[in-house]
Structure 1
Amino acid sequence: MINMSIELIGLDNIPLVEPNDDVCQIIKDAIEKQGCLLKHGDIILIAETLISKAEGNVIKLGDIIPSEESIIIAKQSKKDSKLVEAIINESREVVAVGPDFIITETKQGFVCANSGIDESNVDEGLATPMPEDADRSAKQIREFLENEFDEEVAVLITDTQGRAFRNGAVGVAIGCSGINPLWKRAGEKDLYGRELQTSEVATGDELAAAASLVMGQADEGLPVVIIRGFDNFDKLRDTKTGINPLLRPKEFDVFRN
């Protein structure tokens, strides 16, 4: 029988992290303190800012000297030129510039605003770029938690990003371990018995968006959320695949071509 509900559990014992803090141990301690020991199929979703801060991946904006290109783009986008320089440094390509936005392809391959650099939830004058390798971070945390709790789980690193043609930001997955983030459903049948031809579900992003409702965007202080009761965990269980299945190849990106 299909489970018709999932549970979202925000961990409320996560402290403000500093560089070199042990995120694995911090999450384990928070889980035990809250009394929600991990179960088979649990999915742990972690905000990317927590990962970047703990890994020391923090930008000191005051130390940056803007280039001529950054100064020009800063005028177009109405952003601080030092922030623009940081955005460019974290990108492979500047895709588009407009009033109050710079769309880039990040070094990790994500197309998003401002190279995913976040100035919220860090001290004044600092900013956090995306984790250098969110798949690696997710894998390390998953393997630690599976060993500690003796259960198969998955870990997703999440960010909030906008979408083409729609207002507002939603949670998306930028790192993944333990579950395939893309569910290919071609060959299955619809309600009328017709075979699905090309249906793909961005499960990683759907899980991230659900967790984002609990994480929030301001001072909620809940950077780690457990999703419990996702029925298709075993079907999508995958310890080798990272986030790449969700990234559309550039040649198929009609918004850039």
Structure 2
Amino acid sequence: MIQIEGIEGLPEVVPGDDIAALVAGAGVEIIDGDILVVTSKIVSKAEGRVRKGDSRAEAIAEETERVVARRGDLVIAQTRQGFVMAAAGVDASNTEPGTILLLPEDADASARRIRAGLRDRLGADVGVIVSDTFGRPWRHGLTDLAIGAAGVRPLDDYRGQSDPYGNPLNATVTALIDEIAAAAELAKGKLAGVPVAIVRGLAHLITAPDGPGVTALLRPADEDLFRHGSADVIYARRTIREFSPTPVDPAAVHRAIAAAISAPAPHHTTPWRFVLLETPATRTALLDAMRAAWTADLRADGFTESSITKRLRRGDVLRNAPYLAIPCLVMDGSHTYPDPRRNTAEREMFTVATGAGVQNFLIHLAVEGLGSAWVSSTMFCRPTVRQILNLPDSWDPMGTVAIGHPTSPPPTRPPRNPTDYTLIR
């Protein structure tokens, strides 16, 4: 049997309070094997995570690591602690007017301190979960989840086992501490003034060491299929120049092409074509021919051999990438005018449309977890590229996209103020 009991009568928590001492003095029996679920708000208050003032927007910005999605005043953000939640966990409820509550700096550490304090005061070996309220994608309503834990097994991993029908379980990992946090909220409530609940009957989940805490539940970025939200997907595209030898899944590249060809184009045309270099011999032949063409051009322009060598190194990213794609511009459907100026503008329209397609392509590669670098190489030797790849004369190669798995995260991009690039008339 599982029993859940809220601890009533706790005083208003203020900075400097010892939550373990408050719980121990509440007059409620706490025994070995109990799990205490503590609302994060009182942890934040006790630890002084209270911000004076009513500028919630400023507090959200300070607590945000990245914005995942934004609609009006609603912000879904990844916090500095690694949680993705509304308003970066900043809360103006259940706190005095003119103050705002922030999440605990390290809720796992908070849970460890509360656990140790209860052991010292009561001699009871308990688990502690710090909980907070989360919304959920695709579902209305809120539920409590764990943001900190100590002494409780966080996950039950059933992978490798079989169900009663003999079917293998390949993906079943139960988030135990989230389930306990949600169940405990039924006894605490949002408005009852009961910030702590005791869950009894799950002693088999108690661990002697404090354990990994909530860290075990945070999904690594490279495993997260939904990492990029609507607000930060564009910023996910970064130029990557160093790739691991891990092969690139061609299906991912084809999905990126599907995104590319959804870009706008003039006259209802489709000016994009993509040449995918998946044959090693063709790839090597093209890069060697391009290198020879660049060398001849640079020598004709009077560059020294050392300068030529330095410039040719820029093409190393293409040789080191496990996959290459060449976007091409085609002018099918374009209009021809008697005025040469209009013909120039017509080509510029198609060039801009191709750029929009390439940008879509690069962004979707990032969504697929792939890095990329758009190198302008082929535009300097288009006849050579057409010859090696046997392309129609009407296809204009518009650079080469190096694609692969990044060896490391890209460096932080220096902030840019859009005002510096804006002119208002």
Q: TM-score range by the shorter chain?
A: 0.7 to 0.9
Partner of 2:205: 233
> Partners in 2 of 1:191 and 1:102 — Cα distance?
43
> Partners in 1 of 2:18 and 2:74 — Cα distance?
34
Q: Bigger relative contact order, structure 1 or 2, given CA contacts below 8 A and separation 6+?
A: 1
CA contact (8 A) 2:32 2:203 kept: no
What's the TM-score once normalised by structure 1's chain length?
Answer: 0.84
Which structure 2 residues correspond to residues 160-199 of structure 1 after superposition, within 5 A?
Answer: 160-199=133-172
SS of 2:5's equivalent in the other structure is strand
C-alpha deviation, 1:251, in angstroms: 2.3
C-alpha deviation, 1:114, in angstroms: 0.2
Q: Does 1:99 align with 2:99?
A: no
> Partners in 2 of 1:241 and 1:161 — Cα distance?
21
Select which of 40, 53, 61 maps to 2:53: 61
Partner of 2:179: 206
Q: Which has the larger radius of gyration?
A: 2
CA contact (8 A) 1:179 1:241 kept: no
Partner of 1:112: 85
Q: Does 1:46 align with 2:46?
A: no
C-alpha deviation, 1:224, in angstroms: 0.2
C-alpha deviation, 1:104, in angstroms: 0.5
Select which of 19, 23, 29 maps to 2:19: 23
Residue-by-residue CA offset, 1:175-232 (whole Å, 9 max, x unaligned): 01001212212123311233322210011110000011111122x0100000000264
What's the TM-score once normalised by structure 2's chain length?
Answer: 0.52
C-alpha deviation, 1:113, in angstroms: 0.4
> Partners in 2 of 1:214 and 1:237 — Cα distance?
26
Mark the CA change 1:195 to 1:238 in structure 2 (over 3 Å): closer, same or farther: farther
Which has the larger share of helix?
Answer: 2
Partner of 1:242: 213
SS of 2:129's equivalent in the other structure is strand
Q: Does 1:253 align with 2:246?
A: no
> Partners in 1 of 2:99 and 2:195 — Cα distance?
18
Mark the CA change 1:187 to 1:152 in structure 2 (over 3 Å): closer, same or farther: farther
C-alpha deviation, 1:242, in angstroms: 1.4
Residue-by-residue CA offset, 1:116-169 (whole Å, 9 max, x unaligned): 111111000111010011111100111121233323210000001101111111
CA contact (8 A) 1:60 1:125 kept: yes
SS of 1:192's equivalent in the other structure is coil
Q: Does 1:223 align with 2:215?
A: no
> Partners in 1 of 2:178 and 2:88 — Cα distance?
18
CA contact (8 A) 2:21 2:121 kept: no
Select which of 1, 6, 9 maps to 2:5: 9
SS of 1:208's equivalent in the other structure is helix
SS of 1:179's equivalent in the other structure is coil
Which amino acid in 2 is paired with 1:50? I
C-alpha deviation, 1:243, in angstroms: 0.7
Which amino acid in 1 is paired with 2:205? F
> Partners in 1 of 2:72 and 2:222 — Cα distance?
27
Mark the CA change 1:195 to 1:39 in structure 2 (over 3 Å): closer, same or farther: farther
Partner of 2:340: none
**Gaps (5+ residues) in structure 1?**
63-81
Which amino acid in 1 is paired with 2:12? L
CA contact (8 A) 1:91 1:105 kept: yes
CA contact (8 A) 2:34 2:203 kept: no
Residue-by-residue CA offset, 1:65-100 (whole Å, 9 max, x unaligned): xxxxxxxxxxxxxxxxx2111101011111110134
CA contact (8 A) 2:51 2:99 kept: yes
Which amino acid in 2 is paired with 1:179? V
**Gaps (5+ residues) in structure 2?**
229-366, 368-425
Partner of 1:144: 117
Which has the larger share of strand?
Answer: 1
